[in-house]
Amino acid sequence: MARERRVPAPPPHGLWRRLLRRPELGAFVGVVLIYAIFAATAKAGFLTVAGTASWMATAAELGVLAIPIGMLMIAGEFDLSVGSVIGGASMIVSIGTGYYSLPIWLSITIAILAGALIGLVNGLITVRTGLPSFIVTLAGLFAVAGAALGVARSLIGTSAMAVYPSGSAKAVFGSEWNGFNVSIAWWIAIAIGASWVLHRTRFGNWIFATGGDVDAARAAGVPTRLVKVVLFISTAVAAVLVGVLQTVQYNGGDVSFGTSFVFAAPVAAVIGGVLLGGGYGSAVGVVLGTTIFAIVNVAIFYTDLNSDWSELIIGILLLLAVLANNFFRRLAMAPR
């Protein structure tokens, strides 16, 4: 008698549905497609170690800020002031060490405290007044930028200053290995920490609850105001870290540092699957979003395209990411 042939069972419907529910699914598909396209069309340098280190360093510097920004967006809020905090932090470190001859770690500590204070003010104004955080932090963006520029010019007569860090500060914030910058290690560490907070802690549950329905969360006993204030502080401190990384790597501070991050960080978060309305997203998705953003911005220099087209490509990717994320989410929520 002929032996009966066994037909493999199809994958469980529940597994496919769980996969579709993952907020980073669209970004993962995007990373694969974008990288494959540039790998096939870009010049040979893009696939070298140096080319890989270049886009990873760009992604890391953005990702250090974009991950906390993404967590704040999951909670339903927004922070534009981080762009000015980056420049302000860089000037605090460079003026403190280069002009007043303070130990660089003391200058960095002062910058962190100043950033935390800015985040605290943003958070308290937002939760106590009920004003949209977009407006509150937009005001903060201009206020911090103006203060940084005014103080810098009154003290040193210019908006930029050189400083040459060495020793442990250089190792922690400016070292590299085979072309790979230490900022990549910071990026990975922050991503791991954020993923643990979001998916393994009570505070992570509070973040999702606050962004999903703040009134229902408050009624259930979630300290929604505390959650938002803590997240505002975290975004400001992350901005300080970016400012310190740039100051040490570039051997100087500048008030204009951070201007490109104002919208780049939230754009990367949205590309990574974070909803503008809150309540949905993941740290892994933001990592993938920053990866897409960096690959496009760096890889275009390895093609025959004019670099001016990179902004157009980013804009198209943003729209496609939002559409893809909405599609996957609706498909996951559809009745069986």
Nearest to 63 by CA among 298, 283, 312: 283
DSSP output for 236-252:
HHHHHHHHHHHHHHHTE
Report pTM: 0.90
Averaged over 263-287, what is the pLDDT?
90
Nearest to 174 by CA among 104, 279, 85, 260: 104
Q: How far is CA 76 from CA 106, 138, 155, in A?
A: 34, 16, 39
Domains of the chain: 26-325 (1.10.3470)
pLDDT, tens only, 84-102: 999 999 999 999 999 999 9
pLDDT, tens only, 110-140: 999 999 999 999 999 999 999 999 999 999 9
Indicate the pLDDT class of residue 273, thresholds 50, 70 and 90: confident
